[in-house]
Chain A
Amino acid sequence: MATQTVAATKMAQPEINYLNHERGLKSWLLTLDHKRIGLLYLVSVVFFFIVGGILALLIRWELLQPGQTIMSAETYNHIFTLHGAIMIFLFLIPAVPAVLGNFALPIMIGAKDVAFPRLNLASWYIFWLGALTMLVGIVTSGLDTGWTFYTPYSTMTSSGVTWVVLGAFILGFSSILTGLNFIVTVHKMRAPGMTWSRLPLFVWGLYATSIVQILATPVLGITLLLLALERILKIGIFDPALGGDPVLFQHFFWFYSHPAVYIMILPAFGIISELVGTFSRKGIFGYKFVALSSVAIAFLGFLVWGHHMYVAGQSATASTIFSLLTFLIGVPTGVKVLNWIASLYRGSIWLRTPLLYALAFLFVFPIGGFTGIALGTLGLDVPLHDTYFVVAHFHYVMVSGGLLAFLGGLHYWWPKMFGRLYNEKLAQLAALLIFVGFNVTFFPQFILGTQGMPRRYFDYVPEFTLLHQLSTVGSWILGAGLLLVAAYLLHSLVKGQPAPANPWGAGTLEWTHTGRIPSPHNFERIPVVTRGPYDYHLAEEIFGNGHQGQEAAVTPAQGQAPQPESTR
């Protein structure tokens, strides 16, 4: 039994793993280990998620009733802008790739590290440099443009646009470095036998994401630079008072910001594939399609940005072409969902927390998808554009992709990251709270939108009160669910049951070929891959010789306290 050799040698002496082989703050701040960098990112993005989340709760509180509730209109405008900018630039974009991707991708393809470990660490420092630069602008004069920075408002306002824009410019480099690293790693660092058709789908998702990061982020860079120069030097490219064209700015902005949506959603697709595969113990239906459609979506995603601009004054010729292409991208996305559902068919489905998040995703994401179709439709978008329908739509897509998938992935890889289990019952309760809270928060917003409630409104007409209040109550449920997650995960860090090396009976390398907690260089010896990631029926080392999968040790009965692996 191949894996046991690794595990058994570990048992004999105190285990050396990536967490304990070096100690002290310096060993973390100067680490080149992709797993440790993943954790540095984890702490960072969770911090910014908390900040963005508090801002979101404040927004909902203000909207509890018409008129001023807790803050002035000016403050509200700053708060919703910061919520958007922080959640997008500092949470959604780095969350899955830089945290879970950094941690898992090299192990999943059988590499000792990413191709450029120093650039990887640099990307984390650049992330903070960008975040702090943004902070300078926010602290000194706030930001009230909306995260979209539309000109000429952004060139006229006295708030800290220049600093924030330069901060986002710097953040772009961090994103580019992560993407560049992943592409090269996937191309050049795969273990022997790890062919393209044996890549786990999470790796495919990250690969496609990286393509978008590489190709779109530089355009954001130049756009923001031109915006900063517009403010500093009055270059007159975007500012109509100087002869510039504000619609041109929107083209520049959405050339990045629409593909950026795929930076947030494609890795989520990858996580869902892993979760569905592992917890139904069955191959992903249409593996090739699911893998390649990620790459196809990455490229098609560049051809549709104009669907944000149907009512902006864009030519109808452009709008029509953008609309048609938008529908074409809807098809592979829809087929992916159907493939995941089909993968459940005749599987052996094990309802654990990570899968619950995947199922929640499969409920929430299609709603985001269908409403996306409505917004891509020329005639329908006109009344719906810039209303709460759009707000609800992108929260359905981004929260399903950025939050539900991230939480699913975090719960999935948690035992591998820290070698400890969390309280399954509480985790399931939290997943339920988050699912309910999310839908109560955002579903009413669809109705608000079709009724005509515009977005970015501090105040609203009294007819909308009931739906807004429902939404606010939902945000409290969602917040409570997230607090619960934080509580039991922190508890798990300190007092969690030790996790076995492969608690879920998964078939990818990070579970089958590393110890409870991976060693500093991941593998004692580089593995040779002989089967696909979801070929459980070929996975002798998990299920061979009458073996029942390591999870047998974890779940003698549902809900009972799991025992450590050493019982074997």
Chain B
Amino acid sequence: MVGPIYIIALALGLAFFLGFFGKSLKTFSGFVMLAGLAGMTFISGQWLMAFVDGSATTQEIFTAGFKPPFSINLRMGIEEATFTFMINVIGLLGGIYLFNRLKEVGNSAMSVFIVLIMSLNVIVMTRDIFNLFVFVEIGSIATAGMIILDKTSKSLQAGLKYLLATGVISGLLLIGIIFAYYFAGSLNIDGIIAANLMASKAGAVAVFLIIAVLVLELKPFPANGWGLDVYESSNPGFGAIVSAGTATAGLFVLYKVLPMGGDAWYQYISIIGLITFVGSNLVGTQQKIANRLLGYSSIGQIGLVMTVIGLQPILGDAFAFIAFALLLNHFLAKAGLFWISGIIKKENITDWSALRKNSALLIMFVIFIFALIGFPPFPSFFGKYELIMSLISSDNIWVAVVILIGSFAEGIYMFRWLGHVLKNENSEEEVLDIPWNKFIPIVLVTVSLLAAGFYSVPFVAGANYFYFVPLAFILFLGLIDFLPAYIKNTVSIAGMGYYSWLLYPLVEGDLMRTIFFAIFMFGGILTLVVGYNKSGKREGFYPVALMMYAGLATIVTTDNMFGFFFGWELMTAGSYFLIIRGKRSKPHAYSYMLFSVAGAYLILLGFGLAHASGQTQALIALKDISVLPTLAYTLLAVGFMTKTASLGLHIWLPGAHGEAESDVSPMVSAVLLKAGVFGLMLLFLYMGEQTGDTLLFILGWVGAFTALVGNLAASFQEDAKRMLAYSSIGQLGYILFAIAMMTQLGWLAGFTYVINHFLFKAILFMVVGGIVVKAGTHNLYQMGGLIKKMPLSFLAVLIAMITMAGLPPLSGFAGKWLFYNAVILKGWYIQGVIVFFAGTIAFLYAFKLLHSIFLGQLKDNHRNLKEISPSILIPVYILIAGIFYFSAFPQDVLEPIGNMLANYFPSTLEWAADGNAVTILSNWNGNAVMIIIISMFVLVLGYLWLITGKTQKLEQFNIVYSAERPFRPETTHVSHNMFAGLNKAIGFLVAPGITNFWNNVSKMVLDFAGVVRRLYSGNGQVYAIHIIIYIVVFYLISIG
């Protein structure tokens, strides 16, 4: 095994050797540099492998042949090996990336580069504090040199500010070191730790100086203006090295030196880390310049790792995994992002849409963004989950909350950036040239990020490899993305079919999960079938759709909290990409994502509290939460309600569902919303009646008002898909109200609504989606009379509408009947009336939809429309068959559900012999009602047919007005502002109060960030003053 000392010898030897060539032989010296970097990577890699397979033990390397206190020693343990390996890898990849740039500048720049990487290695390995100072100085001079790789006036200023700041810092470090030596008598870190300097006040100040300087090297929040300028102005290739390499070395040094200060320091470091993480992310929300934004984000992430280092005594043995997972994730993702920004070379994030030209680069960009926020299959997801779990179980909940707020703030600007990339329009002419040496590092980093995610499974309780099976299939779909759409469609349907067949045994026993499993899987397949009518390739649609369905499947089949959260985040990621495909859906997808991420974090906190009380990852732990139960249940409830868009959390739904693509809307609204409902049902089952009764009462009222406002808003909509979206809000308000009653009848009504809503909403969105595409407009007042052209879709919408309105013959009435009995038995009378009134309003807009699309006068530009494509009609008519079966034989569906619910709630519904559902209040025989109505219908039809005989169809007469066309023609269309009367009477209920509320909240946050941003005035001297203030304040807090 090559000794680690050769890293230094090799690097310095080559650096001096490069001096020989002066200005000539540029390419050759470039390759010499790469060889050197590769050698260093090999050495540290070889040590890492040795440690991983246990064949090596921690080694102390003595220089100059003497024992440590008298000479400098380097240590090569498993930690050092991993960190040096990471640094050398980033050095090698950075060298490859910057190859051309370094060649242009000359081979002295190459030697500076290789020396910089060597200095980071030694910083990690050395155990001597003065040696650490020397190599930190080498690092800072080399960085100052590297900043001016692209000679712009900005990079010059950044360089000077950097030198000023590091100069002041290193001076103070010197004082700290010399006095530490004076008190401890030795320069070796272990010697100083042994001397326990904290005992005396002066010793404490010396240690304070050392640690404060090391913290300042990591650019803590208020005093990091100089750091941000470096990120913004330097060449992004070098920015990657600073953000990944130097930060990793700096964090390890802090970890190494912290024991010097005793455990009080751990607390200070975690507080500083938290302030940095939240502060820089918050200020980042206002940022428009790409590199500076990456600077804010990397400082934030470093702050997070610093917090974790500070929390070491609390986290115990989980510390190593969490710190490494978060650091590795930041390391890989940030390097990748900087490299991509090096290729894109655009300053402002709004014109990054050129990234869409190269789909491979785009996918990698997305992977980095999602890795940073902490979405599944990435290490940060596992790290953050484990961090929150152990934090809450050691009951510092506030730290967990602040961390989540910080990463939510990061989500704000990262997703805005992603939105710009995916949706901003693209100038055609400029082409994106990607040289191979810039592309390969990014690919390597992405691959290792995914592999890191895979390998972090054994470290987290409750995680198992089974969750990665769907991801492998999604990867496979991603690879075959070049095929035409219909092949991919068949493949994905087959895949989903097999996967659901595979998972079925998992849910077989539990009827509730089987129903939801059926809705997710069967509904998913149906909505995918609709995709057959789409031509072309539909890049990126199928992997993402499968990801959503995989997430849904995992939620239903898993039995532990980790699996549930894994599936939840997977589903959110998948659905985000589905929604953002719509033409005008950028703002809506953005608000959807923010609400979902916030909701997911609330759920995580809730799970944390459950884990804290039950100490297990199983979902059963939700049953009896002893740690702050009411808080836990409220958090979980609100978290799930962000997904069911209840009142107050609903503003994302109309835009997200309204603007989505025609076959995405049914997926997202009919199938996805049920995930939130499933979550709520689980929660209420585990919570039980007595613990949550006030919460349930409130949720009942929330459900009632959501139903009312949702349906009312739907009836005043002019846009067809928006109307359906608002109606989904209303229907989910029903479901929430029903299950909040916690009685068998209530839950039966809830289940009926879940099944009904799935059936008719899928039909409505599919058909309306098809029509909107055919008719070319969303607005109801531009449509009409399509019954003549599309009779089949008219019939489908008619049946769906009757089910939605709850009219007797069809299954909708079953829901209403159960609902009525439940309300009276439960005693929630007033809410019952509100929800019933909402039901009538539902009838109104259902009719408006039917009327304005199909009936009335056929518009002349729709004359030659033909029926919507069979690929939509087939699933629609399967669903209609489902509705008829459910309406004709309600007992076959409701009885098993009733029995299943019987073991949770007292049973109040029996099924009499002749299929008559009997409660103490009333009875209802769906089958009989159906038969009677159909027979009456046939009789009366026969009677009418008898007395009218043959009729001749009247051609459409064009109602022309005597006066000339009014200025706004749509006002004459009947469905324009159709329920004006109702609107004038109770329109005030639907005023956009809540949307304004959320807009004000976001404006307040952004203004605050704007004010704090003023801190960075750009003047180098001011930054130096910030550093001194920071030291004085830190001193007063810690020691003064």
Is A bound to B? no
